[in-house]
Amino acid sequence: MTLAHAVAQTGNGFLSPTGVEIAFLLVGVATLAAAVLTVTTRQLVHAALWLVVALGGLAVEYLLLTAEFIAWVQVLIYVGSVVVLLLFGLMLTKAPIGRSPDADSGNRAAALTVAAAAAAALVWVVVDAFRTTWIDLEGPAQGSTRVTGEILFRHWVLPFEALSVLLLAALVGAIVLSRRSPEGREGKS
């Protein structure tokens, strides 16, 4: 009731969408298809490459929502670094060309449950938070670098710092784990 009321007030509707909204939906469908292919393909490296398409599609979605900075960071971190790391790992394990029969694990049901639960939680949170907020695509960009930076370092600086401490802890943990124990191999580490 409140939703319909608010929509009627602001003049935005789900009917008669604009060009940007149609593009957003189409890119979303393509991204979803790439994501599904990522988890269903039997060829390991193809999965990583489909992941590139899915993450790139997400970046385009950010762009369409005028969040330019987030979009480029998405490309820089995920496409440029995380996927390269992934491919590096796959090549080290000599991922074969063609289908890998053992690429399918027996955890399909559990994975589906977790994925559905995560999706439901995310959709619920996002819908609840931004119920009737519409982004004005015509006016000045609301996701430009300046705006993002100001919001991040004025209003959300404490979570930001907490996250960086968490990442530092993960980094230190990785270094500790990768070091050989001194009593096991003396003089080598």
Partner 1 sequence: MNDALDVALRLLAVFAVFLVLPLVVGQTEHKVMAHMQGRVGPMYAGGFHGWAQLVADGVKFTQKEDVVPAAADRRVFQLAPAVALLPYLLVLVAIPIGPGEGAVGVVVDAGVFFVLAVMGVGVLGSLMAGWASANKFSLLGALRTAAQLLAYELPMLLAAASVAMAAGTVSLLGILDAFEWWWLPWQIVGALVFFVAGLAELQRPPFDMPVADSEIIFGAYTEYTGLRFALFLLAEYAGIVVLCGLTTVLFLGGWHGPFGAEGLGWLWTLLKTAVLAFVVIWIRVSSPRLREDQLQRLAWTALVPLALAQIALTGVVKVVIQP
Applying CB under 8 A, the residues found at the interface with partner 1 are 43, 45-46, 49, 52, 68-69, 72-73, 75-76, 79-81, 83-85, 87-88, 90-92, 95, 97-98, 141, 144-145
Report the nearest approach of partner 1 to the CB of residue 31 (Å). 17
Tokens 């096991």 identify what position? 184
Residue 126 φ then ψ, to 5°:
-65, -45
**What is d(CA 27, CA 61) in angstroms, rounded to the nearest whole number?**
7
Closer Cβ to partner 1, 30 or 45, answer by number: 45
Closer Cβ to partner 1, 13 or 89, answer by number: 89
Report the nearest approach of partner 1 to the CB of residue 180 (Å). 19
Closer Cβ to partner 1, 12 or 43, answer by number: 43
Report the nearest approach of partner 1 to the CB of residue 148 (Å). 9
Q: What is the 3-state secondary structure (H, E, C) of 111-154?
A: HHHHHHHHHHHHHHHHHHHCCCCCCCCCCCCCCCHHHHHHHHHH
Report the nearest approach of partner 1 to the CB of residue 154 (Å). 16
Report the nearest approach of partner 1 to the CB of residue 107 (Å). 26
Report the nearest approach of partner 1 to the CB of residue 9 (Å). 32
Closer Cβ to partner 1, 137 or 141, answer by number: 141
DSSP string computed for 66-77: T-HHHHHHHIII
Closer Cβ to partner 1, 35 or 90, answer by number: 90
Closer Cβ to partner 1, 85 or 109, answer by number: 85
